[in-house]
Amino acid sequence: MAKIWIRQAVLKALDDAMTDDPSVIVMGEDVAVAGGPFKVTEGLLASHGPERVIDTPISEMAFMGAAVGAAVCGLKPVVEMMFIEFIGVALDQLTTQAATMRYLSRGRLTTPLVVRASAGAGQGFGCQHSQMLDHWFRGTPGLKVAVTSNARTTYGLLRSAIEDPDPVVILEPRVLYAEREEYEFDRDYRIPLGQAEIARPGTDVTLVTCGAMRRVALAAAEASSANVEVIDLLTLWPWDRKTVMESVARTGRLVTLEEAPAGSGWGGDVVSSIAVEAFGKLKAAPHRITLPDAPVPYSGALEARFLPSPAYVAEQVAALVSTNKPPLPWWRNAA
């Protein structure tokens, strides 16, 4: 089994999708000649030509609008937004036009559009290039939102997203691009959107996470004295309620681990759903491990403190399991 870079999984998924379906095109800044700012589209131009691998001007609103139009007319555009923050100037095309197209046309028109972007912190890129921003998309009916966490999930989710008839946002934690792991590509492999997976079985507490936090959760679980079940949500909207509900019914405890501010993270939805629908199964109040409601620091030392570490997560989980009371986050303890 070969050991591959995770960015290679993005490239392989795009290449296979374009080979299998001539309606798939790739658009974005520097995706063609330069092979992408993170080299995830390297070689696609030579393989599929300039009509299907399209370098765009630095004009996110324009090329997002062009992609929406192309999708409505029968193509399957995959738009690279480089850093997810750059989509701010193109949100109207995605959230007002693409996301509502099926509804407004009474199902006559669909928008098979995929928006890919690197996201998240951990590389010292500062507060304007280190956010996840999944909450911008989770709050828009008509959009699906997924987050990749390793080479296998990257390939499986991206292939499913490209085949979906409606718009999908795929967030790729850029801190993972340079990670290598053993994975053998299977051209038929797909991960259905909306399906989570149990990354590690356990009996004492359910730890729900996604993206780059998956490896943090797994490391914390290994270090913990508690028997921790780790669930990778993979799709943030619609999220897999059945898998999470069944796990909490077994363990009686829920912790969410998010790379998101406390005030807007997806964990609020998961925790409120469990509290409403599975309250009688709980041995303790659900607990969320999040980022502070503050911009991501530029300083490497501060950014490392800002992000949940395996040691911090293990400590928080152990406190919940031993006392059945949610512990305070570090920034409230320090206040």
Nearest one of 265, 214, 210 to 240, comparing CA atoms: 210
Tokens describing residue 180: 């290598």
Name the percent of the chain in helix, strand, coil, to the closest 5. 40, 20, 40
Cα–Cα distance for residue pair 36/44, rounded to 1 Å: 10
- For residue 238, whether the previous peptide bond is cis, meaning omega lies within 30 degrees of 0, is yes
Q: Of residues 48, 129, 135, 287, which has the active-site annotation?
A: 129
Instruction: Give residue 151's pLDDT.
Output: 96
For the whole model, what pTM was predicted? 0.96
Q: How do residues 220-241 score in pLDDT, each as one tens digit?
A: 999 999 999 999 999 999 999 9
Three-state SS for 146?
strand
Instruction: Give residue 333's pLDDT.
Output: 76
Instruction: Look over the chain and give the mean of its residue pLDDT values, rounded to a whole number.
Output: 96
- The secondary structure element, H or E, covering residue 256 is strand 254-261
- Order of strands across the sheet with 254-261? 197-200, 228-232, 205-209, 254-261, 287-291
Q: How do residues 73-91 score in pLDDT, each as one tens digit?
A: 999 999 999 999 999 999 9
Q: Is 129 an active-site residue?
A: yes
Residue 131 pLDDT grade (very low, low, confident, very high; cuts 50, 70, 90): very high
- Distances from the Cα of 41 to the Cαs of 58, 184, 286, in angstroms? 17, 19, 41
Instruction: Give residue 334's pLDDT.
Output: 59
Residue 323 pLDDT grade (very low, low, confident, very high; cuts 50, 70, 90): very high
- Distances from the Cα of 310 to the Cαs of 23, 25, 138, in angstroms? 43, 39, 27
